[in-house]
Structure 1
Amino acid sequence: MSFADLGLSEEILRAVAEQGYTEPTPIQAQAIPAVLSGRDILAAAQTGTGKTAGFTLPILRRLQPQANNSHSPAMHPVRALILTPTRELADQVGDSVKLYGKHLPLRSSVVFGGVNIEPQSRELRAGVEVLVATPGRLLDHVQQKSVNLSRVEVLVMDEADRMLDMGFLPDIRRILALLPANRQTLLFSATFSPEIKKLADQFQKTPLLIEVARQNQTSDQIEQRVLAVELWRKRAVLAQLVRKQKIPQVIVFCNTRHGAEKLSRDLIRDGFSADSIHGEKSQQQRIATLAEFKEGKLNILVATDVAARGLDIDQLPFVVNYDLPNTPEDYVHRIGRT
């Protein structure tokens, strides 16, 4: 099967081809036709399976017939709303929308907290068809009346499990109350618990269930190893591992902000170029640290789970669980970074 068999337009197919993709992944092959049919979807796919394109491609196709070059904001209402749990994931999804919609006259925007709200407000007031947002910042814009959600045709909740784990349910309910009842709702995640499926039934109308991988299954393309180490030797073993294996870059996961900060400082004292990323750091700090890591200026990035959701680093060879994650879902997400 090729992308041309999935009902996508010539403009979108050209953007896909320019990225070097010829065949859809399993989640894309199932999700794209289902989204185009207008059905509500509950889709579970591992990180790294191409699930983001699984909803961005068909959404762009759905919006394409009304795409226009008008300068009037009224001609560019928000028609697709994509909610994500973290700023980093919002950025990644926004990049996907721009990448695959590059040959279409559709406007898109990404809004999240931790940065000045005014530039976002100006962009929204100018009109955007596709809006990617974190729930809290979206409600800020609703309060400021810089966005109108009454014309939304498609709602996506990406990494829905994490969104609910992080306590966004009250915000999500407030957002849903602002959307038209007659809309398409898509829930995408790496994993789904029975509680998530039960909640999805409240949000969706007879959703089609798509499960590409077994629940909490890790990718069979990733080699996994366990090192049994005394607690007091963990840092020394990590340093030895990085040096002995000549690891160029690695993300090291800790369970707490304090632990991530301390390990980062200790690794710097050990002679490594390291920094940490966690929820307590400002958006500017997180962006700067990620940029340094992506540019190869840092070889060790110490991260917490929340901060690492949605991280997309090309050619990352290693991930280390310095602390064991609390849930199987977090383990799947962590090692899916490589």
Structure 2
Amino acid sequence: MSFQDLGLSEALLRAIADQGYNTPSPVQSKAIPQVLAGRDVMAAAQTGTGKTAAFTLPLLQNLSGGARAPKRGCRALVLTPTRELAAQVHENVTEYSRYLDLRSACVFGGVKINPQIDRLSRGVDVLVATPGRLLDLQGQGAVDFSALEILVLDEADRMLDMGFIHDIRRVVRLLPEKRQTLMFSATFSGEITRLAGGYLNNPVKVEVSPANATADTVEQWVYPVDKKQKPALLSYLVKANDWSQVLVFTRTKHGANRLSQQLEKSGIPAAAIHGNKSQNARTRALGDFKLGKVQALVATDIAARGLDIEQLPQVVNFDLPNVAEDYVHRIGRTGRAGAAGRAYSLVSADEADYLRDIEKLIRQNLPREEVEGFVPDHTVPDTPPAPTGPRQPNRGRRSGGGRPGQNGSGQQARQRSGNGGNGGNSSGNGNGNGRRRGGRGRSGGASQGGNRSAS
């Protein structure tokens, strides 16, 4: 199937071609015709599968040719949970509408409100917003929803996780009852289903992957390590494997600041991005990362969704998240649009319960690999076999780039802990076939052969 087969206009097809895309992803193939038909849509798909284009493209087509938005008005509203995601969605809107006579704006907190008020005063066709700033603008009379035709709730599950449910309800009460509503989420949790029941009218359900599945294009490893050795191990991995770009997740804002400073001291250009940083600082750090000026971007979960970095080769969980679902969203920053990606988790013994929850959620037993010189005093225990189901445990599958490289001395004496052949604890003295590694070879971020899907 091609984008032409979905019924998109020539103007949109030109914009898609400009971005280098030629084949729609599964969620795009299923959602776009339904949105074009004017149906309410409730879509669930894992991170990195092209959800943004799945609603942006048909939304723009449905708006094209219509009446102009009145002053302070908007015809389509896209609500997102974070500033970074709002900026990314607006960038997509701008790219895909380049051959259409449509106006758009993006509003979020952390920056001056007056330029946003001025932009909205002329009316916009598409408004991308975070809930808090949108309500501030509405309270000042800067935005009018009387002409609204389409509402999109993007990353709806994340908005609920972040406590935006009351803001969402306040916004929806301001909107016309007669509208098209689209809800995009990573999962169809019970809470999401209840939310959809209140706001969507007989929606079409689109689901293209198992709930909480990780992308097949992302290879995953666990590196057991003592907690105090984590910064040194991360520095070693970056240098030994010549990683030019790595996104690192920490659990706390203070931890992100501290780790970025430690990386800088070890000679690795780094920056931190989290909620306490000003919006200008966050935008600058992300821009420098994309340009290659920053080698390691250290982030809290505020960046787990909304960061769209083309062909990001690897993600590192410096700390495991205490909510298992966040692991899926974190590693979804790599392996996007069909590209290969790698995810590494530095796991100390005190995080064993978090790891167990993650493996149970994704129904995979992640391979453990010890790094020479960083073998922990306390082994991270193996997880019991994952529940049987549609996704079977992935035991060390590799793709792209062949076997990992040798360490500095050329030795390849490695011992893998976990996934033992006889099911015992194979932390070096069990019955499993283990490996101890001296370093991993370069990780490629290049897209695998084949067609690209729109992001």
**1:81-134 Cα distance to aligned partner (Å, 9 max, x none):** 000000110011001111111111100000000000011111100110100000
- The aligned counterpart of 1:186 is 182
* C-alpha displacement of 1:231: 1.1
Instruction: Please state whether the residue corresponding to 2:8 is helix, strand or coil.
Output: coil
2:48 aligned with 1:52? no
Return the letter of the residue paired with 1:307.
Answer: A
- The aligned counterpart of 1:155 is 151
| Runs of 4+ that moved beyond 6 A | none
**1:248-282 Cα distance to aligned partner (Å, 9 max, x none):** 11011001111111111111122211110001111
Q: How does 1:145-294 map to 2 (within 5 A)?
A: 145-294=141-290
Larger Rg: 2
User: Contact 1:67/1:105 (CA < 8 Å) preserved in 2?
Assistant: no
- The aligned counterpart of 1:316 is 312
Return the letter of the residue paired with 1:44.
Answer: A
Return the letter of the residue paired with 1:172.
Answer: I
Match of 2:102 among 103, 106, 118: 106
Instruction: Please state whether the residue corresponding to 2:11 is helix, strand or coil.
Output: helix
Structure with the larger helix share? 1
2:315 aligned with 1:337? no
Match of 2:83 among 84, 87, 92: 87
Return the letter of the residue paired with 2:39.
Answer: R
**1:218-273 Cα distance to aligned partner (Å, 9 max, x none):** 00111111111111111111111111111111011001111111111111122211
* C-alpha displacement of 1:75: 7.4
TM-score, normalized by length of structure 1? 0.96
- Distance of 1:155 and 1:274 partners within structure 2: 38
Q: Structure 1: state its 5+ residue gaps.
A: none
* C-alpha displacement of 1:308: 3.7
* C-alpha displacement of 1:77: 3.7
Return the letter of the residue paired with 1:8.
Answer: L
- Distance of 2:324 and 2:204 partners within structure 1: 25
**1:164-199 Cα distance to aligned partner (Å, 9 max, x none):** 111111111110011001111111122232221122
Count of aligned positions: 334
TM-score, normalized by length of structure 2? 0.72
- Distance of 1:49 and 1:83 partners within structure 2: 19
- Distance of 1:223 and 1:93 partners within structure 2: 27
Q: Structure 2: state its 5+ residue gaps.
A: 335-455
- The aligned counterpart of 1:33 is 33
